[in-house]
Structure 1
Amino acid sequence: MINAATHYRLDYPDLSLILALVRGGSLARAAALLKVDVSTVFRAVRRLEAALGQQLFDKSRAGYLPTGLARTLAEQAECAEQALDAAQVGVEQGGAVVSGTVRLTCTDSVLQGLLLPALAQFMPRYPALALELSTSNDFANLSRRDADLALRLTRTPPEHLVGRQLRAVSYRVCASPSYRQSVGATDLAGLTWIAPDDFLPDHATVAWRRQALPGVVPGYRCNSMLAVSELVKAGLGVAVLPDFLLDDTTALQPLSDPLPGCDTALWLLTRADCRALRAVVTLFDELSQRLRAPQ
């Protein structure tokens, strides 16, 4: 048995068989995925296990349960499948395919308000490009090489990073239409406030509120700006939010003009060594185009 496993060379049809059975969990579903009959799958699995000298699946009433080896081979089969898909895209696009994995970090509010709509516009054109997203407020993600690109709200990006300022961002006091109607008040100090004080204690908007409304104690404290905006949308109070979260849905309405001293900018940043990577450059250019403020 050991000799058989040593000398047998797996090929792509073997990997496709394993992947179909792992995905399907039964002979019938695997046969449907492979577009063959059930007996063909059954015989192929038996032949492969005999050739490898190892069991790939445990047969039970629940179906075919993959062993550790089968799961490992299925993961490698998925990589091979993705590589073939990328090659096919390259053929269809005349060899101009953009492939690879790009790691991008941004805040949760930027993800929700700006990044997701932009990705929906252009990512379908890059089927071989994989994107890993993380939400964070930390520039160190780029410095530690945990990310390739960062979308950050800042007035002064770190000098060791390279990038482009995409748009100015202002902050306003906001409320939901229902809350605004229910309170009918113009005195901001008398409203229920929602704030990220403990999460972003040095944020300019927190400093503004403490200076302009020193007697206000927030009724809700959240650990993210996105959570703050969701509580405002739910009609639980008011908060200072970036202008890009205000849209045509009227879920949020401004109660003030842009607040003095709270303006900032959206920057798209990367490391100098990433500028030679085609996937990073492609994503950088697409985001630069999509996220620029309307002229």
Structure 2
Amino acid sequence: MIIAAAHYRLEHGDLALVLALVRGGSLARAAELLKVDVSTVFRAVRRLEKALGEELFEKSRAGYLPGSTALLLAQQAEQAEQALEAARVALEQGREVLNGTVRLTCTDSVLHGLLLPALARFMPNYPALHLELATSNDFANLSRRDADIALRLTNAPPQHLVGRCLGQVAYGLCASPAYLQGRDASDLAAMAWIAPDEFLPNHPSVVWRRQRYPALVPAYRCNSMLSVAEMARAGLGVAALPRFLIGDGLQALEGELPDCDTALWLLTRPDCRALRSVVTLFDELGGAIRLGP
């Protein structure tokens, strides 16, 4: 921001304006969010940009594209919005309210199979706490500070992270009853297999299959264990899945696969232990995630 901006005192209305334009992407949508007419938004943006001495948005046929200053102001506006919401909730409930934003990363299979049921159990107790969820198989998300908490299936969590082991996850073979109908369930090698692709070359299920059936070539491959489960549920073939994904629509074919157990780790960065919002969510997840039946 150039020196001219130092002579202008930002007000709450300015932040609300910028946030509405960043969220809406157009004058019309921002006007709807602010409950004013389009000309009012247009004039307000022009006045603010003139006062700050720079263009906050790139105007194009695609809409209003925010520049770096606009994104910075929108971030501050969101924090103010969250603080105001926390104050309102605190007044209503007559007690201190935890607020802030916590960024959490996990794989899509862990998200749907374990995390979402856990969040449903305790998140209603924290109405002013905001979550940003990202699905990824990469530990670098935490290392690059792109996330505050990670849930990972691994037997070797990075040593630079602080963690808690939530238990062991077993794997089993399964298929849909429709796919198994009329087939010899004991002749697994003759069936169509669904498996992770090269994106997960060292996945426990892949390592087990190559040892047990070295000549077998999967009929279907995909880069997501959740997709593997959904394809099996759709009746396309047999899959080796973590037990928490073997639910309705799938039938287990045999017992737990040997040497496939993987630990579920709840991880965070050492510097996050000073953040009350992160510590609270970390502890809640540790108590709410259930690996058993």
1:275 and 2:273 correspond = yes
Once residues 112 and 156 of structure 2 are traced to their aligned partners in structure 1, the CA distance between those partners, rounded to angstroms, is: 23
Once residues 49 and 139 of structure 1 are traced to their aligned partners in structure 2, the CA distance between those partners, rounded to angstroms, is: 41
Equivalences for 1:255-294 in 2 at 5 Å?
A: 255-294=253-292
Query: Compared with structure 1, are the counterparts of its residues 92 and 52 closer, same or farther at alpha carbon in structure 2 (3 Å cutoff)?
Result: same
Query: Compared with structure 1, are the counterparts of its residues 261 and 294 closer, same or farther at alpha carbon in structure 2 (3 Å cutoff)?
Result: closer
1:187 counterpart residue number: 187
Q: Deviations over 1:123-146 (max 9, x none)?
A: 233233232323233334334433
- Structure 1 residue 51: Cα displacement: 8.9
- Structure 1 residue 45: Cα displacement: 4.8
Opposite residue 127 of structure 2, the aligned amino acid is P
SS of the equivalent of 1:205 reads helix
SS of the equivalent of 1:292 reads coil
Q: Are the aligned partners of 2:244 and 2:291 in contact in 1 as well (CA < 8 Å)?
A: no
Moved more, 8-17 or 101-110: 8-17
Moved more, 187-196 or 258-267: 258-267
SS of the equivalent of 2:181 reads helix
TM-score between the two structures when normalised by the length of structure 2 = 0.77
1:231 counterpart residue number: 231
- Structure 1 residue 53: Cα displacement: 9.3
Opposite residue 269 of structure 2, the aligned amino acid is R
Opposite residue 164 of structure 1, the aligned amino acid is R
1:138 counterpart residue number: 138
SS of the equivalent of 2:264 reads strand
Q: Are the aligned partners of 1:100 and 1:130 in contact in 2 as well (CA < 8 Å)?
A: yes
Moved more, 154-163 or 109-118: 154-163
Q: Are the aligned partners of 1:27 and 1:41 in contact in 2 as well (CA < 8 Å)?
A: no
Q: Are the aligned partners of 1:118 and 1:291 in contact in 2 as well (CA < 8 Å)?
A: yes
Q: Are the aligned partners of 1:99 and 1:129 in contact in 2 as well (CA < 8 Å)?
A: yes
Once residues 213 and 46 of structure 1 are traced to their aligned partners in structure 2, the CA distance between those partners, rounded to angstroms, is: 65
Equivalences for 1:1-295 in 2 at 5 Å?
A: 9-16=9-16, 23=24, 30=31, 45=44, 52=51, 76-94=76-94, 96-181=96-181, 183-247=183-247, 250-294=248-292
Once residues 10 and 26 of structure 1 are traced to their aligned partners in structure 2, the CA distance between those partners, rounded to angstroms, is: 21
Opposite residue 279 of structure 1, the aligned amino acid is S
Once residues 49 and 159 of structure 2 are traced to their aligned partners in structure 1, the CA distance between those partners, rounded to angstroms, is: 60
- Structure 1 residue 16: Cα displacement: 4.1
Once residues 11 and 159 of structure 1 are traced to their aligned partners in structure 2, the CA distance between those partners, rounded to angstroms, is: 45
SS of the equivalent of 1:86 reads helix
Q: Are the aligned partners of 2:16 and 2:77 in contact in 1 as well (CA < 8 Å)?
A: yes
- For these two proteins, the number of residue pairs brought into alignment is 288
Q: Are the aligned partners of 1:169 and 1:242 in contact in 2 as well (CA < 8 Å)?
A: yes
TM-score between the two structures when normalised by the length of structure 1 = 0.77
- Structure 1 residue 272: Cα displacement: 2.9
Query: Compared with structure 1, are the counterparts of its residues 8 and 178 closer, same or farther at alpha carbon in structure 2 (3 Å cutoff)?
Result: same
SS of the equivalent of 1:288 reads helix
Opposite residue 251 of structure 2, the aligned amino acid is Q
Opposite residue 260 of structure 1, the aligned amino acid is P
- Structure 1 residue 265: Cα displacement: 2.0
SS of the equivalent of 1:134 reads strand
Please, which runs of 5 or more residues in structure 2 have no aligned partner? Answer: none
SS of the equivalent of 1:109 reads helix
Opposite residue 149 of structure 2, the aligned amino acid is L
- Structure 1 residue 194: Cα displacement: 0.9
Please, which runs of 5 or more residues in structure 1 have no aligned partner? Answer: none
